[in-house]
Structure 1
Amino acid sequence: MGIDGKKVKKILIKGPNWIGDSVISIPVIKTVRQNYPEAFIGLVLRKGSAELLKGLPYVNKIYIESTDDKLIIKENFELGIILTNSFSSAFKFWWWGVKERVGYPTEHRGLFLSKKVLLHVKPRLQHLVEEYFQILETAGIKKAEIIPEFFIPEENLIKAHETLKTKGFENMSFLTGICPGATYGPAKVWPKERYLKVINRLMKENNSHILIFGGPKELDIVNFLLKNAIYSDKITSCPVDDILTSAGLMKKCGLFITNDTGPMHIAAALGLPVLAIFGSTNPAWTKPSGVRTKVIYKQLECGPCYDRTCKKNKVKYDCLAKITEEEVFNGIRELEVF
């Protein structure tokens, strides 16, 4: 089993750097475990992603990138699966002494790869998880069924419950999670005024209570929604400095409305009904993989551009401005959550 029919005992996986991509990679990591049930599997991640995936049951050890070099070298890994496309990730796998190194030959890094993966279609035209599975295919690993999942430690579920209890939201009949910002940049952020209209309708027409998820960079959006909501007792904000406790709060929701963000992927992997609003990015590449998801996206001549900020000279962020609150509400109806 594995490259050239060898029986591999030690496997090192380079996980993605972004929250959303890390969640997308979970079925891929699970597939490696299913194909190598007895192998020692290590996972290399940046610190933030390591915290996110610390409950993952499919790996034996998580290594922190740039911190655990000596520990990785000591293990003498036989097979390396490199999910990221940077030059540095391929170079590090070579430097760490990983014998077989499989990945895409991007950024002139083919010199450091033992097996080079060739895309079956152009980049970003198929879902990212399929791009990951092509790496496994080149490594001789059979593709498994793609079932999104996410693991929240019990301690974080308890913290989430206590957070809701403190806010007086623990016994509400229906909670809607709203993620109105995006770390990526404004080219992913639907106008806050339209989020407000959707929130007010959810409160008035569906008697929903609202949990707003937003980090320090989204405080202006969060505060705007809290200040202008028609029922101040039906809306509250949730801290996102602890991503796993935030995931525990998401799990309490019956609906999650979001821009194209990391929390979008977490919510979908938890099985929540998710309505996702896309701007400059292509949902064909990174749409949420859950069973009950609805994507709203405007395909314009200028997109998908993948820019963080709009470079148009006239009507900026047209891809987002053309999405109306009525379209979003129609999408909510399609999810049949009420």
Structure 2
Amino acid sequence: MPTPSLRRPLVVRLCNMVGDVVLGLPALQLLQVHGYDLHLYGKGWAKALLGGHLGEQGWHVTPRAGKLSDRITQLRELKQHCMQLDPGFNSRVNTLLMPNSFSSAFEPRMAGLKPAGFARDGRSLLLKEAWQARHPSPPAHALEGFWELACRLVGTDLPPPTQIELQVAQQAQGKADELLAAHGIQPGFTCIVPYAAGDVDGKDKRWPEFAAFTHQLAARKDRQIVTCPGPGEEDIALQDHPDAICLPGVALDVYLGLLKRASLVISNDTGPAHMAAAVGTTVLSVLGPTKPEQWRPWGPQNRMAQGPNHQWPSLADVMQKVAA
């Protein structure tokens, strides 16, 4: 590991979705191993999601402001801070863009930074280094795309790790364990995630038979069922999944701790599925229109249930996979 005096500050623009940031974690760790001092710039929840890595690895997180002018001001201030740490900061590529959007390149360029990323969304002229992806577009898996970005910057072509190792902050794990104890929930429970934001080509990412599945799962009476709805999802939990113990309003870092204590997570294509897989919990991912080759939870312990031609699996198929 390089000594602190030799570390180079690097601004990293994180993605806007929880699952994407989780899948980008191995790339961040590769950058750190190769001597970069990471200054992460992304959504406000990124500090909680990556809290287990901030203190131990010394990463810094700046939450993105709402207004464009404020974001450019933030990035200018971040540039000045990094130049104080490293006088050579502005003589090289000093920003890595995890998203492929035009705006993710425009903002740092307007702030005087020198970003690098994939040559997509018509942004090549804004990039100090514009790379053509070695993998197909989109890549075989989103994690491989993020990993390739880090490899291109550090000048290597290593294979990605087989497992994401997302650390849970000790304090957050303690709060998660206290919450479970307060509700009489024993470790080894099943966690369901019947929620999902957005769509795939106009098709809903929520399995239509999830409510019926939860009812059948509860009838087995072999494990407690837990669900943690986010804002606006409470009605889905209470009305469609009354057999599950509902824990609403759980902070993201505490949610990580809960997922780590589960024996199995059954989920739509959504961020908590990637969170669970990244802390080592087995995930059964119930997919319909989602492309599993690009968005399946990463890790050898995980399984998928999906019908042919990106159709939803049957209720019987999912129950069989749970039993297995």
Work out whether 1:333 is the aligned partner of 2:320: no
3-state SS of 2:190 partner: strand
Cα RMSD of the aligned pairs, angstroms, is 2.2
Q: CA deviation at 1:206?
A: 5.5
Report the equivalent of 1:311.
Answer: none
Q: CA deviation at 1:299?
A: 4.3
Report the equivalent of 1:308.
Answer: none
The aligned length equals: 296
Work out whether 1:260 is the aligned partner of 2:269: yes
Out of 31, 46, 63, the residue aligned to residue 49 of structure 1 is 46
Out of 48, 61, 71, the residue aligned to residue 77 of structure 2 is 71
Alignment check: 8 A CA contact 1:173 1:208 kept: no
Work out whether 1:62 is the aligned partner of 2:61: yes
Could you list the per-position Cα deviations for residues 43-89 of structure 1 after superposition, in whole angstroms to 9, with x for gaps in the alignment?
Answer: 11121223322332445311222353343121234422111111121
Report the equivalent of 1:130.
Answer: 144
Alignment check: 8 A CA contact 1:239 1:246 kept: no
Alignment check: 8 A CA contact 2:211 2:241 kept: no
Could you list the per-position Cα deviations for residues 236-279 of structure 1 after superposition, in whole angstroms to 9, with x for gaps in the alignment?
Answer: 11224411111111111111000000000000011111100112
3-state SS of 1:91 partner: helix
Report the equivalent of 1:106.
Answer: 120
3-state SS of 2:30 partner: helix
Q: Which moved more, 1:145-154 or 1:269-278?
A: 145-154
Q: CA deviation at 1:125?
A: 4.8
Question: Distance in 2 between the 1:23 and 1:83 partners?
Answer: 12
Q: CA deviation at 1:173?
A: 6.5
Could you list the per-position Cα deviations for residues 279-304 of structure 1 after superposition, in whole angstroms to 9, with x for gaps in the alignment?
Answer: 2221111110122111122343xx6x
Work out whether 1:212 is the aligned partner of 2:227: yes
Out of 301, 309, 314, the residue aligned to residue 292 of structure 1 is 301
Question: Distance in 1 between the 2:211 and 2:9 partners?
Answer: 51
CA distance change for structure 1 residues 216 and 156 in 2, over 3 Å: closer, same or farther?
A: same
Could you list the per-position Cα deviations for residues 28-57 of structure 1 after superposition, in whole angstroms to 9, with x for gaps in the alignment?
Answer: 100011111xx4221111212233223324
Alignment check: 8 A CA contact 1:128 1:286 kept: yes
Q: TM-score, normalised by structure 1?
A: 0.80
Q: TM-score, normalised by structure 2?
A: 0.83
Report the equivalent of 1:316.
Answer: none
Alignment check: 8 A CA contact 1:148 1:268 kept: yes
Question: Distance in 2 between the 1:289 and 1:119 partners?
Answer: 20
3-state SS of 2:204 partner: helix
Q: CA deviation at 1:138?
A: 2.6
Question: Distance in 2 between the 1:256 and 1:198 partners?
Answer: 13
CA distance change for structure 1 residues 62 and 102 in 2, over 3 Å: closer, same or farther?
A: same
**Percent of aligned pairs with the same residue?**
23
Structure 2: gaps of 5 or more residues = 1-5, 66-70, 84-88
Out of 101, 104, 110, the residue aligned to residue 86 of structure 1 is 101
